[in-house]
Structure 1
Amino acid sequence: MIQDKPMYKFFIVIGFMLLINPAFSQRRHRLPENSSIKFDSIAFATQKHYLNGLSADEYQKKTFKFKDIHIPYRLLEPSNFKSTKKYPLVVSLHNSIRVGNDNEKQLEPLSRIWLKPQIRKNFQAFVLAPQFETRSTNYAFDEVRNVLVAKPNSNLIALIDLIEQLEKELNIDENRIYLIGYSMGGSSVQNLLSLSPGTFAAMISIAGVPDFSSTNALQSKPIWLIHGEKDNENPFNGSEVLFNELKQNKKVRFSIYSNLDHNTINYPLLNTDELPKWLFQWKK
């Protein structure tokens, strides 16, 4: 197990403040560059090594077909499954370098946190980790807003159909279907929420490119945007503009990491339970 360090305690305190204080959680908050959260490449490598070392055998391998689209996917069931109980469904979407059809690469660190023993125990849920054979989202430039925007591809429509099928087949609580994704996955979860806002209870988008197509429908949705100010791949200003357009939504959070970039943004997120804790507080 990874040893706790002072920087992780700092994140836990910040996360706790955000959760117990609704007014604070609605705010755009910047985590200061001169604090103890400075990026540590060795600690980050240790985090990822630990997560990649967890056995993924319990993630069942399956395939879904929608018209001419194939979606390989992995499905993790609750560790203490009871047939008389309904469980949340967490949909975790991968970044662009994991595009393919081996049904392996999509299990990136954000999908693997659900394998950690304490999270597995404390957050009983189904976890769906699909793999896309092509990009799930493309980017275009919005000349009005002066930012990149995310445009969904047809495989996201297929994914919505898969989610609807799983709702019929499994003991899923339809009021607790959650979205989480990083990079292209962070953009795609925004696309999904815009395409079908009635399906999902809450969303976490990490280093994503924004989708402005249904902002009116998202004004009451729990949304957590997480972005590094030094991100030169999916520029930080896109999340900033989206937050400003959703600022009337009392359930929106925007976490800004001043000293992190696209490749390091997950560093403070992998060694705590703040992501599942935030998701699981919400219901439709």
Structure 2
Amino acid sequence: MAQPHGMRTIGLLLITTMISQVKAEELKAEVWKAPNDATVPYRWHEPESLAPGKLYPLVLFLHGAGEKGDDNQAQLKHGVMAILREAAKINEPCYLIAPQCPKQGYWAPYNSETKKLAEEDGLYKRLDAAWALVEKFEKQYPVDPDRIYVTGISMGGFGTWGLLGREGKHIAAAVPICGGGNPDIAKKFKNVPIWTFHGEADPTVSVDLTRQMVAALEKAGGKPKVTYYPGVGHDSWTQTYDNPEVTKWLFEQKK
């Protein structure tokens, strides 16, 4: 006998509430030894239950410089739990991977003189290791290869732009926040759905870096979405990840 509509609604609300109450310490903690010999501590989340034959989206989250280290915990400080909370609200069970960069490392090499990311392969060891972890999950779990998303803040925003330049053909959508990239190669990922964010009063990472990437993408024929926050400093991520429209947009994108 079919469930009354009211009962189905209550059931969905209960499931959503359970998922949204996942605590940071409940995310699984593991260490990944990448093919390039980089050692990457990471935390990860999987859907509460897996339906036979169903594939699930995967979100790669790249943290900022303030969360570097080896405790496998600090990278959860910003963004991660908000993403999972908002995904639960729209009933989008997903995998999420949050790797941690060591104190002496970085996701992508920024050149302060040229004001763009460098392109030398040898400088992307940590970012390549993070992407290799995504590929590992694709093989090991029911991950939808057409719904792999990347987002990051500050240093992770640079990492997101860097990953678009290296693996754009595999990325369904990206949300780089207060970062910068290399506008010279924007044409390589002009067709990837991108929604980028930056505070106009950011004293740490100039908003001009995001403006350069948006202009380069548009010149190449891309159609990026962009949100500039008037009067907002470096923390442009809190209101971004708290915005349900951002999460909804992200999960709507498919290759």
| TM-score bracket, shorter-length normalisation | 0.7 to 0.9
Unaligned 5+ residue runs, structure 1? 1-52
Residue type of the partner of 2:26?
E
Who is 2:207 aligned against? 236
1:186 aligns with 2:166: no
Who is 1:150 aligned against? 117
User: Contact between 1:194 and 1:213, CA under 8 Å: does it hold in 2?
Assistant: no
In the superposition, the TM-score normalised over structure 2's length comes to 0.82
Who is 1:31 aligned against? none
1:161 aligns with 2:129: no
Deviations 1:171-196 (A, max 9, x none): 00000000011100011011011111
Counterparts of 1:169 and 1:115, CA distance in 2: 21
Deviations 1:229-253 (A, max 9, x none): 1112110011111111111545311
Runs (4+) of structure 1 moved beyond 3 Å?
248-251
Q: CA deviation at 1:197?
A: 1.1
Output the aligned Cα RMSD. 1.9
Deviations 1:213-266 (A, max 9, x none): 53111121101110111112110011111111111545311111111011x312
2:187 aligns to what SS in structure 1? Answer: helix
1:125 aligns with 2:94: yes
Who is 1:41 aligned against? none
Q: Percent identical across equivalent pairs?
A: 30
Q: Which moved more, 1:120-129 or 1:94-103?
A: 120-129
The one of 211, 226, 232 equivalent to 1:254 is 226
Q: Which moved more, 1:205-214 or 1:65-74?
A: 205-214
The one of 7, 28, 50 equivalent to 1:60 is 28
Number of residue-to-residue matches in the alignment: 226
In the superposition, the TM-score normalised over structure 1's length comes to 0.74
The one of 78, 82, 105 equivalent to 2:51 is 82
Counterparts of 2:26 and 2:240, CA distance in 1: 23
Who is 1:227 aligned against? 198
Residue type of the partner of 2:204?
E
More helix by proportion, 1 or 2?
2
Q: CA deviation at 1:120?
A: 2.3
2:75 aligns to what SS in structure 1? Answer: coil
User: Contact between 1:197 and 1:217, CA under 8 Å: does it hold in 2?
Assistant: yes
Counterparts of 2:211 and 2:83, CA distance in 1: 29
Q: Which moved more, 1:209-218 or 1:197-206?
A: 209-218
Kindly indicate whether structure 1 or structure 2 has the higher relative contact order, using CA contacts under 8 Å at least 6 residues apart: 1
User: Contact between 1:150 and 1:188, CA under 8 Å: does it hold in 2?
Assistant: no
Residue type of the partner of 1:59?
L
Who is 1:69 aligned against? 38
1:111 aligns with 2:80: yes
Q: CA deviation at 1:136?
A: 1.5
Who is 1:18 aligned against? none
Counterparts of 2:254 and 2:39, CA distance in 1: 30
